[in-house]
Chain A
Amino acid sequence: MVLVYSMVSFFNPYWMEKVIHPAAYNLFYLLSLGGTLGVFYSKDFLTLFIFWELVVWSSMFIIPLGKSRRATVVYYGISTIGSFAMLYALLLLNVKYGTFEISTVINKLSTDPKMATLFFFLIVMAGLTKLGIFPFYTWLPIAHGNAPHTFSPVLSGGLVKMGGFIAFLITAVLPTSKVFANHLQILNNPYENYILMILGAISIIIGTLMAIKQDDAKKLIAYSTVSNSGYILIGLAMVDQTAFAGGVMHVFNHAMASAAMFLAFAAIAYRTGTTKISELGGLIKRMPVTFTVYLIAIISLAGIPPMSGFASKWLIYQGLLRKGNMFIAFAAFFGSVGSFMYVFRPLAGAFLGQLSPKHKDIKEVPFWMQLPMLIISGLTILYGVYPGLMLKYIAKIQTSLNLPAIGVDGTKILTPNGMWDSWTVTLVFTIGFIIATILYFVLPKAKSVDLMDTYTSAEFIHNPDLYHYSSNYYAPFERLYKNHPSVEKFYDAIALRFKELGLLVKTWFFNENPAFTVFWISIVITAIFMWGDKI
């Protein structure tokens, strides 16, 4: 997390001049950084909550600096639903047990399953809202997509992962598999955990489907975050040897990958001023470093070896298959396949293909913007080749939680179902890459065609963007689920109802005609006489 923040801060100086309140941006940036750190270090729940909310409102002031004022409201509304649920649970526990300290509370809860269930659902709400799990995912696309370009990676790589921390706290530190052992079991998981897994699976599917549709790269990455949060949640909710390790590892991997993707598009936006895929194209010639970074990030995100994303996803699949969770495993595989489609869209649309005439003479971004992107990519490769480095650390966490630790042996990951040696796989891929490179140089090259070099029957091209092959990229797929039901519409409807209720209250109770209020006074007094029999 700190890594993401510090990496992104390299970007900030270049953006300052474009943001409307530079000083405020810096202030709130640091505040939210401090808050995030505080959340992870806090020893008692109250401190955790205070830092948690600090992050919410400090980032809340940054988001409207970008494109949308509405985004802030949505973000605040949804994350506050979660944090207030958490606050309710915390204070209830404090009154009941007389302490806020995490370890004490958890110890006492372990002996009180009824309370623990309530606590579980209320607190996990905070995690779900931050992670962007269905049905709370709506803030992700609108906030990520509209935040200042440099803040989107922080949102996705940092803030969203705070939700992962809460989910970790509630599923693993509170030993759910033991506390809820007597409850209804679905496929060897207590029903509480199973509900979380189902929600994670739904998020994967929705995130994937929606990401495929997006034309704005930032919204696309935001939906991919929804889908990946689903993976994290599934992994964490399993609380077993393999999938749990995968979930924890995926927290890190996805933070790296999405931060790299957002940074790549921040770099693009810095030069071109847009993040719409259909307006870009052919940027590989102009911005090769950014392209490489993006490529590595998406390989990791889609879970292709030898990047680190593969290791974590593989571990989650292992856990799912071993327990026979077919529906959730299906969702996970679906998300994996879908993720090829959606990460390929920006790759093909923005980097490959013909260069748009508008962006003929752009340059690569300055070195200080390249550096963080390169470091993140380096880490992705490093942990892909040596997943053991991180898994050893995760194994320590698991031991401290009394879970069977994940087995690691050098570059080999050992699971009950088999083992996987990242080193061999990397070797194979490297060889394949070298062969491909040789072929590329040996074989005759294709002719490079300009975007405008096209046959139009002598008609004048009014809007060259429409001729770009990435506009309406996945039209056939989108048609498949065009009229999908949407949670956004549902939330909008709720907000509208509230507004209508408010106007109703205004006309009924706050009319300019005093007779209305006199009427209400008479009614209420009569009602009190009728029912208020005992004092």
Chain B
Amino acid sequence: MINPVLLIAIPLLFAFLSVMFKKADKGLLVLAVLFNVLAAFLLKETEVVIGGWKPPFGINLIADQYSIFGLIILNTVFALSVFSSFSSVKKYSTVLLVSLAALNGMMLTGDLFNLFVFLEIASISAYILSTMTKKFKGTFNYIILGALGSNLYLLGIIILYSTVGTLNMADMASKIHLVNNNVLLLALTFIFAGFAVEAKLMPFNGWVKGVYGNANDLSGGIFASAYATAAIMMFGRIFTNIFVLDGTLKTIFLTITVLTFILGEIAAFSQKNIRSTLAFSSVGQAGLIATLFLSGLSGVAMMQVANHALAKLVMFTIAGAMYVYAGTDNIEKLQGLFKKHKLIGFGFSVAALSLVGLPIFYGFYVKIFALSNLFKINSYWIPALILFSSLIEGIYYIRMLAKLWNPGEEGKESKDEYTTKLSLENTFAYAVLAVVVGLFILYISYNPEFITQGISNYLSNIAGGM
């Protein structure tokens, strides 16, 4: 039995300690990360009241199956990302610890304003992490949009507060029917807009290209897996547990998310660099997951969250490593790179195929479940559009893989002599990461219950599950 507060408190404490003991900062980082992984796995369903005020007046932390599922993924991918890119940590361990605390807080909190605070802390650490590659223009863009988004979110929850007088999530959910329709529309729009900035929904996500597209191995892995997981899981919690949408507003939001994943995949299709491709692919996937959440299919959405987090962790870490060690991530210049680094290539390929959703990989289960459940709720356009965008997604991933594995000019036999002169360093850590996650994806492909267990536990507790 572990108190969920520790998941937030330990990294935060270690962050302060790492400022004081600068020499030991990396050790503290490792300790906190390991503790959090362990704690996330040991966490049981519980609810903790902070500061002696009972909810709905005080702040409480909720660890239900939903947040435990998110926490396990979040902390695992965070730890894997930190360990595999340990050489890039440098002076950033304090920031990493703070971001870990804030992300865990986002997953756990049961209070809308507290969520805002953790969101801001996570964003501030993300701004700092995004300066790792010295692309300050992207960072500045991110700061402006992130701050604007958080303020919109704040405005939204305050409007709700002034009408129903509570900020507690559970309390809000029970009182939401009291709110006047117009006020609710105003508030939900602001909340949606605010969260859409963090959850990378179009057109709120102008920062993604500059930040994701310029990430290195560490920040790429953390942004694309840990941050994306936390943001989208909170999006899911707000729009499935607290506010249940219906009518025109749902149609509008669904249109936005569907357009996000189609346009995101199309934009990814037009990119030449691996990281930009992956960035737009993340946008598309966020749109897909948000669509599933908005359609009321939380279970499938959670499965896809796991799939996406694992796949993007491997792919972004490797793409970032390409940028760090080879100096470029242009596909044309890196032809045949995986010929040199076969194990890394194996992990990357498995991740890509799973994300595309080809059979015998985990992603295929997600796709089947998503489509059949969408058919069950009489939605026929969304499945067709999902298939269409996943066709585009498949095409650019296959194009990428074909070039990275097989060097050669068009029209000539694939030969070693075309292989890129560039290569990666520090390959051991990346290879371990790639193999471990690749094998894990293969494992859950044959044994999907491993992931779906937690989800079905969660769904059995709420009405209208799978």
Which residues of A are at the interface with B, using a C-beta cutoff of 8 A? 18-21, 24, 46, 49-51, 53-54, 56-57, 60-61, 64-70, 72-73, 76-77, 80-81, 84, 87-88, 91-92, 94-96, 146, 498-503, 505-506, 509-514, 516-518, 520-521, 523-525, 527-529, 531-535
Q: Is the CB of A95 within 8 A of B372?
A: yes
Residues in chain A near residue B268, CB distance under 8 A: 502
Q: Which 5 residue pairs spanning A and B have beta carbons closest together? A: A502-B270, A517-B206, A520-B203, A534-B247, A510-B209
Minimum CB–CB distance for A259 against chain B, Å? 22
Q: How large is the interface on B (under 10, 10 to 19, 20 to 34, 35 or more residues)?
A: 35 or more
- Pick from A76, A84, A525: contact of B398, CB below 8 A: A76
Residues in chain A near residue B376, CB distance under 8 A: 95
CB closest residue in chain B, given A70:
B410
B174 within 8 A of A: no
Q: Is the CB of B413 within 8 A of A67?
A: yes
Given A73-B399, A88-B383, answer yes or no on A524-B248 (Cβ-Cβ < 8 Å): no
Please name 22 pairs of A and B residues whose Cβ atoms are closer than 8 Å in the assembled complex, sorted by A: A24-B405, A61-B401, A65-B414, A67-B411, A77-B394, A77-B395, A91-B383, A94-B372, A95-B375, A146-B411, A502-B280, A503-B270, A505-B270, A509-B267, A512-B209, A514-B140, A517-B141, A521-B148, A524-B203, A529-B185, A529-B186, A532-B249
Given A73-B398, A512-B138, answer yes or no on A66-B413 (Cβ-Cβ < 8 Å): yes
The count of A-to-B residue pairs whose CB atoms sit within 8 angstroms is: 211
Distance A81 CA – B413 CA, assembled complex (angstroms): 28
Q: Is the CB of B210 within 8 A of A88?
A: no
- Pick from A77, A87, A523: contact of B371, CB below 8 A: A87
Additional A-B contact list (6), CB under 8 Å, known A517-B204, A523-B203: A91-B371, A498-B266, A501-B266, A502-B266, A520-B203, A524-B193
Minimum CB–CB distance for B261 against chain A, Å? 12
Q: Is the CB of B359 within 8 A of A50?
A: yes
- Pick from A68, A77, A503: contact of B391, CB below 8 A: A77
Distance A505 CA – B280 CA, assembled complex (angstroms): 10
Task: Pick from B181, B186, B190, B398 the residue with the most CB of A within 10 Å.
Answer: B398
Contacting A at CB under 8 A, from B79-121, are none
Minimum CB–CB distance for A229 against chain B, Å? 22
B173 within 8 A of A: no
B384 within 8 A of A: yes
Q: Is the CB of A518 within 8 A of B248?
A: no
Residues in chain B near residue A70, CB distance under 8 A: 410
Which residues of B are at the interface with A, using a C-beta cutoff of 8 A? 137-138, 140-141, 144-145, 148, 152, 181, 184-186, 188-190, 192-193, 197, 202-210, 245-249, 252, 256, 263-264, 266-271, 280, 339, 353, 358-360, 364, 367-368, 371-372, 375-376, 380, 383-384, 387-388, 390-392, 394-395, 398-399, 401-403, 405-408, 410-416
- Pick from A53, A94, A512, A534: contact of B359, CB below 8 A: A53
Distance A160 CA – B271 CA, assembled complex (angstroms): 32
Q: Is the CB of B269 within 8 A of A499?
A: yes
Q: Is the CB of B406 within 8 A of A512?
A: no
Task: Pick from B188, B189, B207, B414 the residue with the most CB of A within 10 Å.
Answer: B414
Residues in chain A near residue B189, CB distance under 8 A: 525, 528-529, 532
Residues in chain B near residue A20, CB distance under 8 A: 339, 406-407, 414-416
- Pick from A53, A69, A81: contact of B402, CB below 8 A: A69
Residues in chain A near residue B387, CB distance under 8 A: 84, 87-88
Distance A506 CA – B210 CA, assembled complex (angstroms): 11
Distance A80 CA – B389 CA, assembled complex (angstroms): 12
Q: Is the CB of B249 within 8 A of A534?
A: yes
Q: Is the CB of A534 within 8 A of B181?
A: yes
Residues in chain A near residue B210, CB distance under 8 A: 510, 512
Minimum CB–CB distance for B384 against chain A, Å? 6
Given A20-B414, A521-B203, answer yes or no on A69-B248 (Cβ-Cβ < 8 Å): no
Q: Is the CB of B267 within 8 A of A502?
A: yes
Residues in chain B near residue A534, CB distance under 8 A: 181, 246-249
Residues in chain B near residue A527, CB distance under 8 A: 252
Minimum CB–CB distance for A146 against chain B, Å? 8
- Pick from B245, B252, B339, B375: contact of A531, CB below 8 A: B252
Distance A425 CA – B245 CA, assembled complex (angstroms): 76
CB closest residue in chain A, given B368:
A91
Q: Is the CB of B410 within 8 A of A50?
A: no
Minimum CB–CB distance for B376 against chain A, Å? 5
Q: Is the CB of A517 within 8 A of B402?
A: no
- Pick from B184, B208, B392: contact of A510, CB below 8 A: B208
Minimum CB–CB distance for B159 against chain A, Å? 13
Distance A499 CA – B248 CA, assembled complex (angstroms): 32
Residues in chain A near residue B384, CB distance under 8 A: 88
Given A72-B402, A87-B371, A535-B188, answer yes or no on A520-B206 (Cβ-Cβ < 8 Å): yes
Residues in chain B near residue A533, CB distance under 8 A: 185, 248
Q: Is the CB of A64 within 8 A of B204?
A: no
Given A21-B405, A65-B414, A69-B406, answer yes or no on A535-B249 (Cβ-Cβ < 8 Å): yes
CB closest residue in chain B, given A73:
B399
Q: Is the CB of A64 within 8 A of B141?
A: no
CB closest residue in chain B, given A50:
B359
Minimum CB–CB distance for B208 against chain A, Å? 6
- Pick from A76, A517, A531: contact of B207, CB below 8 A: A517
Residues in chain B near residue A498, CB distance under 8 A: 266, 269-270, 392
Residues in chain A near residue B339, CB distance under 8 A: 20-21
Q: Is the CB of A76 within 8 A of B248?
A: no
Q: Is the CB of B148 within 8 A of A532?
A: no
Distance A53 CA – B364 CA, assembled complex (angstroms): 10
Distance A186 CA – B248 CA, assembled complex (angstroms): 46
Residues in chain B near residue A88, CB distance under 8 A: 371, 383-384, 387
Distance A309 CA – B367 CA, assembled complex (angstroms): 42
Residues in chain B near residue A57, CB distance under 8 A: 353, 358
Q: Is the CB of A72 within 8 A of B375?
A: no
Task: Pick from B371, B407, B415 the residue with the most CB of A within 10 Å.
Answer: B371
CB closest residue in chain A, given B263:
A505
CB closest residue in chain A, given B403:
A69
Given A514-B144, A520-B203, answer yes or no on A506-B405 (Cβ-Cβ < 8 Å): no
- Pick from B208, B263, B395: contact of A76, CB below 8 A: B395
